[in-house]
A = this chain, B = another copy of it.
């Protein structure tokens, strides 16, 4: 019998209990041992649950229990999750977590501690919900240098963008609908401003490139600035707008990492990832592009990823899994201003033609390609500018504004 404890009985924590209860036999068969939840930590009371007597409000009861070998952390947030997880590892317990903030902010430290103690610290559920991604990157792609990862990592923003694209809903209306359906929080900023996607691409980047990338080093832009006009121009261009978290290894050994809305070509595997689904593209030198697709969130998919990690812990109590990365190095993350960029730009002026003519002068006619909207807004024009870096693009857009041309929006164009 393998005894575990679950910290937090919220959406994911209660899902873990549900999966363990509904799949007891198949899980025992795979783990070669029965898995029993001995303790659940939550400050709330759940008197009506069949397992209500296992609840505790006292973390000490868990961390000092020698029978409990694995602790599942589903509290979310940094505190007290970080202190609890650290204490558990120090007390010789392996930890499984679904907490992307914890892994993105404290991954290197906790992995080092787990290694020192010869324990497992697993977090498959922290990225992509029920989609297997952490394990495939670390294991199956072991004989492969990953050069690039790009993903639709946040279901809420993808739902909103899908509504804007398919039903021509305004951003604010689509956000309200996402909130009504329970996909978005009352304070939606972590999703909408890209924070959640940023944490996830940090975890994937750290894993793939072996060096911790902290969220505060990552240029992050959300989708609140995306207008229906941009959706239309993306369609004219031949694609859709998606919120993409991406990281790319440079020849210098540094990485370019960024979260921002991007134009994605209709033929791309990422273009057809709609609604609350996630899709993650891993580009390897040997395998080429491999794409993983599925529900990136939700109680049960996430819980199933947590339980798969628990099973792996039970099977490897003596042997560590080979998840590991070093702590951050200075200059590992390249200055985002040096990145090459091709961008869609929407401008307005006295007339659309005049605004575009100004753009031709600033960028050079050979480097701008005008997009013609089906029903253009008066005074507006849009174009694709290539051959720039982030810095020169910003300069040229400033120059345009100095000439009285208003830059309404600019969205980067992906090559996935």
Using a CB–CB cutoff of 8 Å, the interface residues on chain A facing chain B are 19-20, 23, 26-27, 30-32, 124, 130-132, 135-136, 139-145, 267, 269, 271-272, 284, 286-295, 298, 300-301, 303-308, 310-312, 315-316, 319, 322
Contacts and interface: CB of A to CB of B under 8 A. Distances in A.
A315 B135 CA distance: 15
A290 B301 CA distance: 10
Considering the complex of A and B, which 8 residue pairs feature the smallest CB-CB distances, nearest first? A132-B140, A143-B307, A130-B287, A290-B294, A291-B293, A132-B136, A286-B304, A143-B304
B293 A288 contact: no
B288 A144 contact: no
A82 B285 CA distance: 32
A293 B293 contact: yes
Contact of A143 (B271, B298, B308, B319): B308
A305 to B, nearest CB: 7
Contacts of A316: 319
B144 A304 contact: yes
Contact of A135 (B136, B145, B306): B136
B19 A286 contact: yes
Total copies of the chain: 2
A213 to B, nearest CB: 19
14 contacts: A26-B143, A130-B287, A130-B288, A131-B290, A132-B136, A142-B311, A142-B312, A143-B305, A143-B311, A287-B294, A287-B300, A287-B305, A292-B293, A315-B319
Contact of A308 (B142, B271, B293, B319): B142
B140 A290 contact: no
A310 B32 CA distance: 24
A286 B130 contact: yes
A128 to B, nearest CB: 9
Given A23-B144, A143-B19, A286 B308 contact: no
A294 B282 CA distance: 10
B287 A290 contact: no
Contact of A295 (B287, B301, B310, B319): B287
Given A288-B130, A294-B288, A308 B135 contact: no
Contact of A288 (B288, B291, B301): B301
Contact of A286 (B287, B300, B319): B300
A30 to B, nearest CB: 5
A348 B137 CA distance: 52
B130 A305 contact: no
Nearest to A268: B272
A139 B135 contact: yes
A239 to B, nearest CB: 13
Contacts of A267: 272
Contacts of A315: 319, 322
Given A287-B294, A294-B288, A30 B304 contact: no
Given A269-B272, A272-B272, A304 B284 contact: yes
A139 B304 contact: no
A311 B142 CA distance: 8
Contact of A301 (B32, B286, B310): B286
A86 to B, nearest CB: 26
A272 B145 CA distance: 26
A32 to B, nearest CB: 8
A312 B135 CA distance: 12
Nearest to A26: B145
A204 to B, nearest CB: 15
B293 A30 contact: no
Nearest to A267: B272
Residue of A27, A269, A286 most packed against chain B (CB within 10 A) = A286
Contacts of A295: 287-290
Nearest to A306: B143
Nearest to A27: B143
Nearest to A315: B322
A124 to B, nearest CB: 7
